[in-house]
Amino acid sequence: MKLQTLRLALVFAILGLTIGATAVFAQDPDYRIVPITCADAGTGIGTDTFGVHSQATYCFDGAGPTRGGFVEEELPPKPPTGVFDFRFTDHRTPGCMGTGQRLHLQNDGQADTFKIEFQASDAGYPFTFTWPSGLSSDWSSLMMVDAFTGGLIFSANMLNVTTAIITNPPGLNTLYIIGTSEPVDVRREGDLVPQRFDLEQNYPNPFNPSTTIKFAIEKSAFADVAIYNVIGQKVKTLAAETMAPGFYTTTWNGTDDNGQAVTTGVYFVRMVATGDNAEFSALRKLLLLK
């Protein structure tokens, strides 16, 4: 097998392993994560993961429900020159990440910056970075730029492409990923598992301009939670995805699926959950006053 073919096979294999390892994150709608693979011109290759979670801090986050259940692994010191290396490091001063982390998460709902440092083996440049497609559902913006001029030497819109190739501008061994995550529509509350499916009454009710809706998933199931008007037309989809067991909360701000404000009146929130040995349906009445 040719070296280039082998390297590409390794890229996809490692990317697949990373996606599998982080599949648990996809069950929690709080997570907005991106695996990214870096390879030099030789056999040097590595995969790391960055993203956001509502309970993350900038510094090291260990396991536990107060941290969202994820573990950020601190890396050993960087290897000597001539040995491949790829890691996320501190971009703040003073920093708190030590030598870097294998999984780097920050708090969501804001513009975040992730710093990448990379080092070639004896094979040198070019470096090839790859990441999954379809990131626009989780990120409103996501740019990879050089550390010197903020994108004048190198920039890549990660929402539009899935590969970036870095040649060898003088001293270019650091990149920034700057992104803004989409707001999370549905959040999981803690790690407890309910004993039954449930759709709670919204609060406040009546409401203006927004109201909170909570529901419970007993077993993994496809959950469809949506707002309907009095003549049965769907107004707003709040959730439509396979969800892990847990307690969830979401907010309706009185707009439809097109972002337009709806009129004063009576509405209904309906929840339908279906899956293996799971079938549930419930309806609650809402009153929007303006």
Tell me the per-residue pLDDT of 52-81, one tens digit each, with 9 for 90 and over: 876 777 887 765 544 455 678 889 999 999
Pairing of strands 32-39, 85-89: unpaired
> Using one digit for the tens of pLDDT, what is the confidence trace for 142-195?
999 998 887 788 899 999 999 999 987 767 899 999 988 766 678 888 778 999
- Give the per-residue pLDDT at 104: 85
CA–CA distances in Å: residue 3 to residues 42, 126, 263: 8, 15, 63
Residue 1 has pLDDT above 70, yes or no: no
DSSP of 56-70, one letter per residue? --SS---SSGGGTT-
pLDDT for residue 230 is more than 50: yes
Read off the tokens for 214. 């909570």
Pairing of strands 127-130, 163-166: antiparallel
**Which class for 194: exposed (0-12), middle (13-18), buried (19 or more C-beta within 10 A)?**
middle
Residue 265's pLDDT is 95
Mean pLDDT of the chain: 82
